[in-house]
Amino acid sequence: MSSDTLTRPDDVALSMGHIALHYGKAEDGPLAARLMTLLGFTETQMLPLPNGNFYRFVVDNAHFARGDGIIYLSALTEAQMKLIDAINENLGVGTEGEHPAVQGMRDALATDPEASFHFGFLVKSLEELEERILTLQELADSDPELKGRVRIGMNRARPGDAEVDARLDASPLFGNVTRFAYGSAGVQVFVITDILKASQLGDHAILEFDYVFPGREQHILSVVEL
């Protein structure tokens, strides 16, 4: 495939079709859908089912009628819930006999949310990302449905680009952030929530939202820097 072909979005042979996310109990469906809307996704369908609502979201309206850019959201199946319960029981999660690997994984994720399975989304506007996450931070502190159920972590771009550094220093969201991404010219926000279930223990999910500053050939999503 030629490099010319790779630069024409209308001609790509493969795109990201969909991902499937889950919530736990059937009654958590509306809250999970609300969280997805707060994160900027567009709900296009809801089917009420006995074991919990089934939702279809798209990453933006451009994908409304397409077959890609889709996020399906549904309740965990009974079989998966039983497996999660068995894993937690055998590892003693939350008990005095908890397996040390459990805390080890928690510590790893606290240091680096990218250390395990997560979903990443690219946001076109830094202002949009700032506004969305600031709103979510406020709700996570005050909203009865969300309080204690959403945590947010952030990485700012590696220093060295004066324009980027100045913009992030002035940012209401990233100005005081001291963690840096594995690359330049971009920022990352991690939304960690137990409303969604996608981890090894079935207790949380991590959604990542990125912004890349324009006009840079090298950035956090094109080159990883150690």
Residue range 146-159, pLDDT digits in tens? 999 999 999 999 99
Q: How many residues does the chain have?
A: 226
Whether 28 maps to a domain, the answer reads yes
Whether 84 maps to a domain, the answer reads no
Whether 107 maps to a domain, the answer reads no
In sequence order, which residues have a C-beta less than 8 Å from that of residue 46 and are 6 or more positions away? 33, 53, 54, 55, 56
Q: Which residue has the higher pLDDT, 114 or 172?
A: 172
118 and 216 both lie in a single domain: yes
In sequence order, which residues have a C-beta less than 8 Å from that of residue 63 and are 6 or more positions away? 69, 70
126 and 184 both lie in a single domain: yes
| Structural contact between residues 166 and 184, judged by C-beta atoms closer than 8 angstroms | no
Whether 98 maps to a domain, the answer reads no
Question: How confident is the model over 34-62, as a mean pLDDT?
Answer: 95
Find the domain containing 182 and state its range: 112-226
69 and 19 both lie in a single domain: yes
6 and 62 both lie in a single domain: yes
Q: What is the pTM of this model?
A: 0.90
Whether 150 maps to a domain, the answer reads yes
Q: What band does 7 get if pLDDT is binned at 50, 70 and 90? A: very low
Q: From the DSSP assignment, how many helices (H) and strands (E) are in the chain?
A: 6, 8
Q: Which of 14, 47, 75 is the last residue of a domain?
A: 75
Q: What is the DSSP string of 140-157?
A: HHH-TTTTTTEEEEEEBP
215 and 142 both lie in a single domain: yes
The tens digit of pLDDT for each residue in 32-44 reads 999 999 999 999 9
Question: How confident is the model over 12-23, as a mean pLDDT?
Answer: 89
Q: Which of 47, 75, 103 is the last residue of a domain?
A: 75
Share of the chain above pLDDT 90, in %: 80
Residue 82 has pLDDT above 70, yes or no: yes
68 and 134 both lie in a single domain: no
Q: Where are the beta strands (DSSP E) in the chain?
A: 18-23, 42-47, 54-58, 70-75, 119-122, 150-155, 186-193, 205-212
Share of the chain above pLDDT 70, in %: 95
Q: Which of 168, 205, 170, 209 is nearest to 188 (CA)?
A: 209
Q: Which of 57, 75, 93 is the last residue of a domain?
A: 75
Whether 99 maps to a domain, the answer reads no
Whether 92 maps to a domain, the answer reads no
121 and 221 both lie in a single domain: yes
Whether 185 maps to a domain, the answer reads yes
